[in-house]
Amino acid sequence: MMAHTIVVGVDDSSPSLAALRWAARRAVATGQRIRILHVSGPEAVSQSAEAGGALRRAREILRTEFVCQGHRLDIETRLVFGRPLPALVEASLDASLVVVGTHKTGFVQGRVFGSRFLQLPALAHSDVAFVPDSSSLEREGIVVGVDDSSYGRAALAFAASEAERSRAELTLVRAWKGVAPAHEFAPASGAEGALARAERLLDAAAERLRGSHPGLTIRRRILQRATAEALVEASGRCALLVVGASGEGAQLGALGPVVHDTLFNLVAPTIVVRTGFDAATEIALAGAAPGERMTQAAGGRSAG
Q: Do domains 5-136 and 142-285 have the same CATH topology?
A: yes
Helix (H) or strand (E) holding 272: strand 270-273
> What separation in angstroms does the CA of 3 have from each of 58, 92, 138, 177?
23, 10, 29, 39
Give, rounded to a whole angstrom, the gap between the first and last alpha carbons of the chain. Answer: 10
Neighbours of 266 (CB within 10 A): 26
Whether the CB-CB separation of 144 and 170 falls below 8 Å is answered with yes
pLDDT digits (tens, 9 = 90+) for 140-149: 999 999 998 8
Whether the CB-CB separation of 268 and 232 falls below 8 Å is answered with no
Round to whole Å and give the CA distance between 50 and 150.
Answer: 44
Whether the CB-CB separation of 298 and 93 falls below 8 Å is answered with no
User: What's the pLDDT at 281?
Assistant: 41
Round to whole Å and give the CA distance between 236 and 240.
Answer: 10
CATH superfamily of 5-136: HUPs (3.40.50.620)
Instruction: Tell me yes or no: is domain 142-285 CATH 3.40.50.620.
Output: yes
Q: Is the pLDDT of residue 288 over 60?
A: no
More confident residue, 153 or 51: 153
Whether the CB-CB separation of 206 and 218 falls below 8 Å is answered with yes
User: What's the pLDDT at 1?
Assistant: 39
Domain ranges of the chain: 5-136, 142-285
User: What's the pLDDT at 121?
Assistant: 92
pLDDT digits (tens, 9 = 90+) for 43-98: 655 566 666 888 999 999 999 999 999 999 999 999 998 899 999 999 999 999 99
| pTM for this prediction | 0.83
User: What's the pLDDT at 290?
Assistant: 31
The average confidence (pLDDT) of the chain is 82
- Least confident among 6-15, 98-107, 120-129, 253-262: 98-107
